[in-house]
Amino acid sequence: MKNRHVINGSVFLFVAGMALLMSCSMFRSRPTKNYYIINYTPSKAISPGSLRPYPYALQVGNFDVQRIFNRQNILYRFSPNQIQYYELEHWAVRPDYMITNLVFQHLEASGLTNRIGIDFFDTRPDFRIEGMVEALEKFDAGDVFFAHLAMSFKMLRVDDGAQVWEYAFDQRKQVYQPEMVYTVQSMSNIFQTQMDVVVSKLDSLFSLIDSGIPLNQKGIIPLPDVPAESDSTVLKLDESGYEIIPEKKKDNQ
Range of the domain at 13: 1-30
What DSSP letter does each residue of 93-134 carry, written as one string?
A: S-HHHHHHHHHHHHHHHHT-EEEEES--SSS--SEEEEEEEE
Contact present, 191 and 135 (Cβ < 8 Å)? no
Closest listed residue to residue 41, CA positions, set 116, 105, 118: 105
Among 8-12, 202-206, 210-214, 219-223, the least confident range: 8-12
| Strand intervals (E) in the chain | 34-36, 54-65, 73-79, 82-91, 113-117, 127-140, 145-157, 163-175, 233-238, 241-246
Quick one: 58 and 163 in the same domain? yes
Residues 102, 128, 200: CA angle, nearest 5 degrees = 60
Q: What distance in Å separates the CA atoms of residue 62 and residue 168, rounded to the nearest whole number? A: 16
Is the pLDDT at 95 greater than 60, yes or no? Answer: yes
- pLDDT confidence band for 220 (50 / 70 / 90): confident
Query: Is 40 part of any domain?
Result: yes
pLDDT-based confidence at residue 45 (cuts at 50, 70, 90): confident
Q: How many domains does the chain have?
A: 2
Domain-located, residue 135: yes
253 falls within a domain: no
The answer on pLDDT for 198 being more than 80 is: yes
Say if residue 69 is in the same domain as residue 92: yes
- Claim to verify: residue 182 and residue 223 sit in the same structural domain: yes
List CB contacts of 42: < 8 A, sequence separation 6 or more. Answer: 105, 106, 109, 110, 192, 195
Asked if 38 and 26 sit in the same domain, the reply is no
Provide the pLDDT for residue 242. Answer: 44
Please state the rounded mean pLDDT for residues 93-114: 97
What per-residue confidence (pLDDT) applies to 114?
Answer: 96
What count of Cα atoms within 13 Å lies in the side-chain half-sphere of residue 240?
A: 2
Regarding whether 132 and 9 lie in a shared domain, the answer is no
* Residue-wise pLDDT tens digits, 129-142: 999 999 999 998 88
> What was the pLDDT predicted at 147?
98
pLDDT, tens digit (0-9, with 9 covering 90-100), for 124-172 = 999 999 999 999 999 988 889 999 999 999 999 999 999 999 999 999 9
